[in-house]
Amino acid sequence: MRLAVLKERRAGETRVAATPDTVKKLAALGLTVAVESGAGAGANIADADFAAAGAELAPDAAAALAGAGIVFTVMMPEAELRAQIPRGALLVGISGVHAEPGLPAELAAAGIDACALELLPRITRAQAMDVLSSQANLAGYRAVIEGAGEFQRAFPMMMTAAGTVPPARLFVLGAGVAGLQAIATARRLGAIVSATDVRPAAKEEIKSLGATFIGVEDEETKSAQTSGGYAKEMSEAYRRKQAELMASTVAKQDVIITTALVMGRKAPTLVDAAMVASMRAGSVIVDIAADAGGNCALTVPGERTVSQNGVVILGWRNWPGRIPVATSSLYARNLLTFLTAFWDKEVKAPRLPADDDIIKGVTLTRGGAVVHPQFLPARAA
C-alpha cells in the first residue's frame, strides 16, 4: 500500500505530517511512503533526509497521491487538492470540521474515508495519538518564550550591585495542556505565576506547578467540564463574576497568556478593552486562542498590535507552527501511533473496526457516507 505525505499549503503552516524517523517505521509496516518534494522545508527537513529514510520523493502532489491508499496531512487539504485523492483512500489529519460544517458531505461525495484526529476521545488508549495535546503543549511553551522576548524587563528577580530588578508577574487564563505548559515554562524562567480556569480539576493542577489559583468558585464550576475533559461554555452570570475578578487581577500583571477555548465555538472574550487599558505600558498579552477569535477583545488574529496605552498584543495564528521542528516530530509520531494501533500485519493494511471507541470518535466519513454522529447531514443542518 502507498502512503502519501503532502506539502502543507495553507498560509503560515510550517509543519509536516511525517519525519525521517516515522518514515522508517511506516516502511517497516510494509508501506511505500511517497513524500511530496518540499514537504519538510518549514520544519528544516530536507528532501534528501526523507530519501535517506527510504521515502520516495514525488515532484508534486499529483505524483505523491497517484495510487495512494493512505494520505497523511497536518491540516485538511483544500478542495482542489482533495479532488486528486483517490476514491477509497484513508485521509488522516486535523480536519477543522467545526469551522467547516459542509466538509464531511464533501469528503463523502469524493469517496474519501476521513479520520479527524482532533476528535479523539479522551481515553487512556488514545493519549499517544492525541494531536491536540502534543501541539498545545509546545504552543504553551512557545507563547511564554515569545512573551518573554517582547517583555522589556527580565522574568526572574535580578539582584545586582546596581540594584534589584523585580520578577515579572505572569497570569495564565485557561489551564488546559497549553496553559499548564505555559505555567511550567514561566516558573522555570523565574516569573511569579498565577492562573485561572473554570474546570474544578484545574485548581489543584495549577497549584501543583507552583502557581497561585485565581478564580470564581461556585455551584456552576462543579459542572464546568465535559465528559471529554474540555471546558463548557459558562452562563452569563458566571461570566460577569469572572470578569470582575479578572479586571482586578489583570491590572497587576506584566504578562498575560490566554489559552481558553471551547470546542467548536468562538473563543470566549476574557480580557476586554478596559482591562487592557488598566495594564502598564510595556506589558504583554499573548493570545494563543487567536485562531478562534481570541480571548482578548483587542487581539487581531495574525498580527502583533500595540494598544493605545502601550500594551503589546501577540495574536499570531497557528502557535504550534511557530515551533515546527518540535511540533512536526510529535505530530508525526501521533499519526504513526494511530496507524500502527490499527494495522493488520497479515494484509499490510489498516483495519478500522467501526465499533472501536477511537475509530467511532474520529471517523468522519466511510464508504461514501458521513458516519460521525455529530456531523450527520440532518444533525449538521
Say what the pLDDT of residue 204 is.
94
Q: Is 130 among the residues known to form the active site?
A: yes
Residue 230's pLDDT band (boundaries 50, 70, 90)?
low
Strands (DSSP E) found in 85-211: 90-94, 113-116, 158-160, 163-165, 169-173, 192-196
Q: Is 127 among the residues known to form the active site?
A: yes
Q: Is residue 297 classed exposed, middle or buried when 0-12, 13-18 and 19+ CB atoms within 10 A define those classes?
A: middle
Say what the pLDDT of residue 240 is.
79
The packing angle between helices 324-341 and 20-28, to 10°, is 10
Say what the pLDDT of residue 236 is.
78
Instruction: Please say whether the beta carbons of 90 and 115 come within 8 A.
Output: yes
Kindly state the cell numbers that stand for 222: 462543579
Say what the pLDDT of residue 238 is.
75
Residue 381's pLDDT band (boundaries 50, 70, 90)?
very low
Q: Is 133 among the residues known to form the active site?
A: yes
Out of 84, 95, 130, 134, the active site residue is 130
Q: Is 208 among the residues known to form the active site?
A: no
Number of C-beta neighbours around residue 169 at 10 A: 18
- pTM score of the predicted model: 0.91
Say what the pLDDT of residue 99 is.
86
Instruction: Over range 318-347, report the average pLDDT.
Output: 97
Residue 220's pLDDT band (boundaries 50, 70, 90)?
low
Sign of CA dihedral 236, 241, 247, 250: negative
Q: Is 331 among the residues known to form the active site?
A: no
Out of 9, 125, 127, 188, the active site residue is 127
Residue 265's pLDDT band (boundaries 50, 70, 90)?
confident
> Where do the domains of the chain lie, and which CATH numbers do they carry?
2-119+323-380 (3.40.50.720), 140-317 (3.40.50.720)
Say what the pLDDT of residue 198 is.
83
